[in-house]
Amino acid sequence: MPSAVYNLAIPNMLNCPLRSGSSPTAALRISFLVLGLAVGVYAADWNGPEQELARKVASVTGPGAVALTVENRSSLGRRDSAIITNGLRAALGAAGLRLVKPEQAAATVAISLSENPSSYVWVAEIRQGTNEPAAVMVSVPRPEGSLASHDSVPLSLRKIPLWSQEERILDVAALEENPTPTQIAVLDAKSVTVYRLQGGKWQQQQALNVTHARPWPRDLRGRLVPAADHLLDVYLPGVFCRSGTGTALALTCRESDDPWPLVVGSLIGGGANFPSFGAVSGSPSTIIAIRGFFAPTRNFFTGALTPGVGKFTTLSKYYSAAFVPREKYVLWLFASVDGQLHMVDGIGDVPARLSWNSNLASVRTSCGAGWQVLATSSNEQGESVRAYEFPDRDPVAVSAPIDLGGEVTTLWTEAKGDSAIAVVRNRETGSYEAFRLAIACNQ
């Protein structure tokens, strides 16, 4: 089983959000002026705040044995959190404190790594015997260019397991909602298998063979799209399959260079097996059903679009796309093979470098601005996913990141439009796991 996954082709990208003027055109002009400027990599130096917090803790406890816990409640990644934890332990030791188990400690120190829109805030709660708890803190300015959290729109991103198997999963589609999936279709390199939930377990109903004349690309991708007048359509590199309409399902496949849908049916006012959404205030009532051409022998889209985004019918090659409706236009986001996020509004194509990998998906919810973009990033365990909004051209994080436990091979918006399907190759087991990613409003 090949271990390569398509998102690994993009290296980690730098945080360099673009700022626009009062209009899309002005934003594009300003952005193009700064494209030639080099951006240095920000290397965080946590030594100063670590030493400061350690001195404040020691001034309360005095020298002696303490038990330490550190909890990361901020948007800092695992790597930075681990570095800070190790730094705090060393700084406390240098300040005369000896770190021991709780049963051996004269005091306990619980440090929380939190944040506000402008700074990271580290708070240490200190307990000594029967004394009243004491708290000390330090504030650490955010590095310029880092993504801010959107505290006014706190959202929760949930990961709901759907299916797992040894063979690579290309996509999973919910065929019935009640309100959770009760029937799903699973696409792999050989077949589309339909399962129904019975007695709390998935039971196979049918396995429909996928026929193809040419060998599949090594890093195979595919998509399942539920349809209004039949069960589903299947998109694979150089192949299109369509299910029948009868009770005994059949799958008819043919060689095809037909474009793949980049917008699911419910987001354009119908299609699929689920009801469409109403219009969101401030958003266009109609979203054009743009499609992209997939390279038949590779793992990316060629860049050709139909009907196009404004004047753009051809873009750089890309792995995935998402969009954010505006009052008078739609901002499209393309995770390109050149390692950049390309922002296209129909007038200009502006590249930006963000700390994202190559998987993007749009979701439409009742939370926040009404539209969120899910994007993946690398971490020590593989990849995580996080929800963002685009109040202008700078993405704003509106949820905490969720660890997916491996490399993401698929991220597609679901047919009903308010959630996405993520497929992950588990780092520990090597098997493939499909999850639904859904957003909950924290109100």
For residue 232, the surrounding DSSP H or E stretch is: strand 232-236
With contact defined as beta carbons under 8 Å apart, do 294 and 303 qualify? no
Query: 275-308 as b/e, with b when 16 or more CB fall inside 10 Å?
Result: eebeeeeebeeebebbbbbbbbebbbbbbbbeee
What Å distances lie between residue 401 and 78, 124, 153, 163, 396, CA to CA? Answer: 11, 24, 15, 22, 13
In order, the DSSP letters of 46-107 are -HHHHHHHHHHHHHHH-SEEEEEEEEE-SS--HHHHHHHHHHHHHHHHHTTEEE--GGG-SE
Q: Is there a cis peptide before residue 141, judged by omega within 30 degrees of 0?
A: no
Q: What is the pLDDT of residue 144?
A: 54
For residue 179 the two structure tokens come to 């309100």
Tell me what percent of the chain is helix, strand and coil, each rounded to the nearest 5. 10, 45, 45
Residues 402/159, Cβ–Cβ less than 8 Å: yes
Q: For every one of its 443 residues, what pLDDT tens digit does the chain have, with 9 covering 90 and above? A: 444 443 434 433 334 444 344 444 444 333 333 333 333 334 467 989 999 999 999 999 999 999 999 988 777 777 788 889 999 999 999 999 999 999 999 999 999 887 765 678 898 999 998 888 888 999 888 765 455 444 444 689 999 999 999 999 999 999 988 778 999 999 999 999 999 999 889 999 999 999 999 999 999 999 999 988 889 999 999 999 999 876 678 899 999 999 999 998 666 654 333 333 333 434 444 688 899 999 999 999 999 999 999 999 999 999 999 999 888 889 999 999 999 999 999 999 999 988 899 999 999 998 888 999 999 999 887 899 999 998 878 888 889 899 999 999 999 999 889 999 999 999 999 999 999 999 998 75
Domains, the chain, in order of start with CATH, read: 6-32+149-175+258-441 (no CATH), 47-141 (3.40.50.10610)
Q: Report the C-alpha gap between 435 and 382 in whole angstroms.
A: 15
What dihedral angle (degrees, nearest 10) is formed by the CA atoms of 420, 423, 427, 430? 160
Q: Are 79 and 122 in contact (CB under 8 A)?
A: no
Residue whose C-alpha is closest to residue 208's, from 236, 176, 242, 237: 242
> 254 forms bridges with which residues in the sheet?
240
Question: Which two three-digit tokens encode residue 294?
Answer: 């997939």
- Output the DSSP codes for 121-165: EEEEEEE-TTSPPEEEEEEEEPPTTPPPB-TTS-EEEEEEEEEEE
pLDDT score, position 73? 74
Distance of CA 344 to the CA centre of its chain: 20
**pLDDT at residue number 70:** 93
